A = this chain, B = another copy of it.
Amino acid sequence: MSKVHNYSAGPCILPQEVMKEAAASILNFNDLDLSLIEISHRSKDFIDVMEEARSLVKEILEIPNGYQVLFLQGGASLGFLTAAYNMMGANKTGGYLVTGAWAKKAAKEGGFVGNSKIIASSEDKNFNYIPKNYSLDNSLDYFHVTSNNTIFGTQLKSLPETNVPIVCDMSSDIFSKKVNISNYDLIYAGAQKNMGPAGTTLYIVKDSVLESNAVPIPTMLNLKTHVDKDSMFNTPPVFAIYTSMLTLRWLKKNGGIDWIEKLNQSKADLIYNEVDRNSLFTGTANVEDRSNMNATFDLTNQDVKTEFDQLLAENNISGLKGHRSVGGYRASMYNALPLESVEVLVNSMKELENKKG
């Protein structure tokens, strides 16, 4: 394969060795002379996959006792509803920090289950910052935050001091940096950024959440259903879980969260330093809220756009176009994107400066 620098915002780049092992297992899994995708999910071979995947999540994220790990389906979009059902308590009110399009959708689903209260929103500036000076009423059943806003390029750097249970959609930055799991009652994340291919959704849930019975919960949306069956209540998305397990093995083998957090910081420093240094570029998000996963930026002069896009194409840089609601460019630098790919991008930005500066 020739080298493509894959900046896709998700589904996104995964390690090459993961691709190779996933492909091999589709042909012959565990030397069974059967494909991974044609064996029973109740077979020992697949139960071992599920258990290793759950156990790697616990180990890599240093999850304390008293939490359960599940691999379910439906993406964060179904997570919005699942979170509200499982977190809604006696006051039937959830608070939401609306920091982007996905956070807004989460708040909408909260309103289906109970009252959804928007605590703060940055929609006034097209979500280019994280609201900070807000107060949280202790009567909230939960407070829902989105740790990283893929579209807008902002990231939550701290949590409020509060007794309100915190729920977090961590889809686009889970496994990218150290997180204190005990700050959260519920975390959920679509796999298709740092964990694996599209098709499975990770849930990390505190045991106390499973005891709640403030509202009736449909079977499949009740996390207790899945905890009671070791994440195998119904047929799981076998391939997505297996490939996530391979990706987590890769992460552990290379040094885990300490290693990847440093690498991600280096990648982010490299691109943001260039955005700030090079007068042809400007950052989109508020500087202190910038995401280490998705760097959003634009040209200061649109006249050179054709030339820059041509440089990107020449250098095999793929997926850099910004989301339609923001425009400009977005460099999604998930775990498996090598530092080298960011160097190639930064060199293209310098090359544009040399030509036009």
Contacts and interface: CB of A to CB of B under 8 A. Distances in A.
Contacts of A35: 14, 19
B218 A38 contact: no
Contacts of A198: 37, 41, 235-239
Contacts of A6: 34, 38
Given A8-B40, A39-B11, A192-B235, A220 B77 contact: yes
A220 to B, nearest CB: 5
Assign chain A's interface to a size class.
35 or more
B11 A19 contact: no
Contacts of A4: 32-34
Contacts of A10: 40, 235
Contacts of A20: 27
Interface stretch (A104-112, A177-185, A251-259, A345-353): A104-112
A149 interface: no
A134 B221 CA distance: 33
A234 to B, nearest CB: 4
B26 A12 contact: no
27 contacts: A1-B28, A8-B38, A9-B40, A11-B38, A11-B40, A12-B38, A14-B37, A19-B37, A20-B27, A22-B37, A23-B26, A37-B198, A73-B73, A73-B75, A73-B78, A73-B237, A74-B78, A80-B219, A81-B218, A81-B221, A108-B219, A112-B216, A197-B238, A199-B237, A199-B239, A239-B239, A240-B240
